[in-house]
Amino acid sequence: MLSRRPPHYQAWLVLLAGLRFHARHPAQLLLTIAGIALGVAAVLAVDLASDSANRAFAATARLLRGQASHEIVRPGGLVPEAVLAALRREQGIAASAGVIEGRVRLADDPGRAYRLVGRDPFAATRVGARLAPFGDAALWRRLLATADAVLLPAPVAQALALNAGDELVLADPWPGRRLPVLAVIDDDRQRLIHADLLTARELFAPGGGFSRIDLRIDERSAARLRPWLERQGLVLRSVPERLAQLTGMSRAFRVNLQALSLLTLVLGGFLVYSTVAFAVVRRREIFGLLRGLGLARRQLQLAVLAETAALALAGVALGLAGGIVLGSGLVRLVLRTISDLYLVAAVNEFTLSVAALAKAVMLGTGAALAAALLPATEAALTPPAEAMHRSAPLRRAPRRYRQLLLLALVGLAAAAALLATAPALPFAFAGLFLLLVALALAVPPALAPMLRGCGRLLARFGSLTGAWAARGAAAQLVRTGPAAAALMLAVATFSGIGLMIGSFRSSVGIWLDYSLDADLLLRLPAAPGVDEQSLLDELRELPGLAGWRLDRRRPLPDAAGLGSLRAVRSDPRHGRWPLSAVPRAELLRSLAAGPAVIVSESLASKRGLRAGDRLTLLTPSGARDFEVLAEFVDYSSDLGTVAMDLDVYRRYFGDRALDSVGLFARPGSEQQLARAAAELAARHRGMRVISTDFLRDISLAVFDRTFTITEVLRLIAGLVAVIAIVNALQAQRLDSARETAVMRALGLAPGQLLRLSLFQSGLLGACSGLLAVPVGLLLAWLLIAIVNRLAFGWSMGFAVDVGLLVDSVLLAALAGLLAGWWPARQALRWPPARGLREF
Partner 1 sequence: MADKLNNGAESPDGGDDRPDFRLSGVSKHYGNPERPVLRDLNLDIAAGERLVIIGRSGSGKSTLLNLLGALDRPSAGEIRYRGQRLDTLDESRLAAFRRREIGFVFQAFNLVPTLTVLENLLLPAELNGLPRRTAAARCQRLLAEAGLAELAARYPDELAGGEQQRVAVLRAVVHEPSVVIADEPTGNLDLDNARRTLDLLQAHSGDRGRSLVMATHSRQVIGRATRLLEIRDGRLVPAPC
Q: Please count the CA atoms within 13 angstroms of the CA of 658 that sit on its side-chain side.
A: 21
Give the C-alpha separation, 483 to 489, whole Å.
10
In the complex, the smallest distance separating the C-beta of residue 485 from partner 1, rounded to whole angstroms, is 22
Nearer to partner 1, 550 or 756 (CB): 756
What is the DSSP track for 539-576?
A: HHT-TTEEEEEEEEEEE--SSS--SEEEEEEE-TTT--
Nearer to partner 1, 672 or 752 (CB): 752
- Which residues are bridge partners to 614 per DSSP? 627
In the complex, the smallest distance separating the C-beta of residue 455 from partner 1, rounded to whole angstroms, is 7
Nearer to partner 1, 386 or 647 (CB): 386
Handedness of CA 99, 103, 106, 109 (dihedral sign): positive
Nearer to partner 1, 471 or 479 (CB): 471
In the complex, the smallest distance separating the C-beta of residue 56 from partner 1, rounded to whole angstroms, is 57
In the complex, the smallest distance separating the C-beta of residue 742 from partner 1, rounded to whole angstroms, is 5
In the complex, the smallest distance separating the C-beta of residue 456 from partner 1, rounded to whole angstroms, is 11
Query: How many other C-beta atoms can be found within 10 angstroms of the C-beta atom of residue 573?
Result: 10
In the complex, the smallest distance separating the C-beta of residue 823 from partner 1, rounded to whole angstroms, is 17
Comparing CA positions, the residue from 295, 662, 413 lying closest to residue 515 is 662
Give the C-alpha separation, 345 to 339, whole Å.
5
In the complex, the smallest distance separating the C-beta of residue 828 from partner 1, rounded to whole angstroms, is 7
Q: Which phi and psi angles does 97 have, rounded to 5°?
A: -150, 135
Nearer to partner 1, 578 or 832 (CB): 832
Helix extents (H) in 151-296: 154-160, 197-204, 219-230, 239-281, 284-292
Buried residues in 445-458 as b, exposed as e (16+ CB within 10 A): bbbbebbbebbeeb
Element housing 150 (H / E): strand 150-153
Task: Check if the beta carbon of residue 809 is closer than 8 Å to that of residue 769.
Answer: yes
Comparing CA positions, the residue from 559, 518, 558 lying closest to residue 539 is 518
Which residues lie near partner 1 (CB under 8 A)? Answer: 391, 395, 455, 459, 463-465, 467-468, 471-472, 474-475, 738-739, 741-752, 828, 831-834, 836-837
**250 alpha-carbon distance from chain centroid:** 12
Amino acid sitting at position 292: G
Comparing CA positions, the residue from 56, 85, 61 lying closest to residue 72 is 85
In the complex, the smallest distance separating the C-beta of residue 717 from partner 1, rounded to whole angstroms, is 32
How many residues are recorded in the chain?
Answer: 839
The CA angle 277-282-285, to the nearest 5 degrees, is: 120
Nearer to partner 1, 7 or 449 (CB): 449
How many H helices and E strands in the chain?
31, 18
In the complex, the smallest distance separating the C-beta of residue 837 from partner 1, rounded to whole angstroms, is 8
Nearer to partner 1, 82 or 464 (CB): 464
Exposed / middle / buried, residue 625 (Cβ in 10 Å: 0-12, 13-18, 19+)? exposed
Task: Check if the beta carbon of residue 116 is closer than 8 Å to that of residue 99.
Answer: no
Q: Which phi and psi angles does 162 have, rounded to 5°?
A: -115, 150
In the complex, the smallest distance separating the C-beta of residue 443 from partner 1, rounded to whole angstroms, is 20
In the complex, the smallest distance separating the C-beta of residue 472 from partner 1, rounded to whole angstroms, is 6
Give the C-alpha separation, 357 to 313, whole Å.
13
In the complex, the smallest distance separating the C-beta of residue 833 from partner 1, rounded to whole angstroms, is 4
Nearer to partner 1, 146 or 391 (CB): 391
Cα dist from 838 to 23, 83, 734, whole Å? 19, 92, 11
Amino acid sitting at position 113: A
- The DSSP call for residue 787 is I
Percent helix, strand, coil in the chain, to 5, is 65, 15, 20
Nearer to partner 1, 9 or 461 (CB): 461
Q: Which phi and psi angles does 291 have, rounded to 5°?
A: -65, -40
**Residue 690 three-state SS:** strand
Query: N- to C-terminal Cα distance for the chain?
Result: 39
In the complex, the smallest distance separating the C-beta of residue 701 from partner 1, rounded to whole angstroms, is 54
Nearer to partner 1, 625 or 838 (CB): 838
In the complex, the smallest distance separating the C-beta of residue 287 from partner 1, rounded to whole angstroms, is 22
In the complex, the smallest distance separating the C-beta of residue 758 from partner 1, rounded to whole angstroms, is 17
Nearer to partner 1, 152 or 475 (CB): 475
Nearer to partner 1, 587 or 742 (CB): 742
Element housing 71 (H / E): strand 70-73
Nearer to partner 1, 588 or 754 (CB): 754
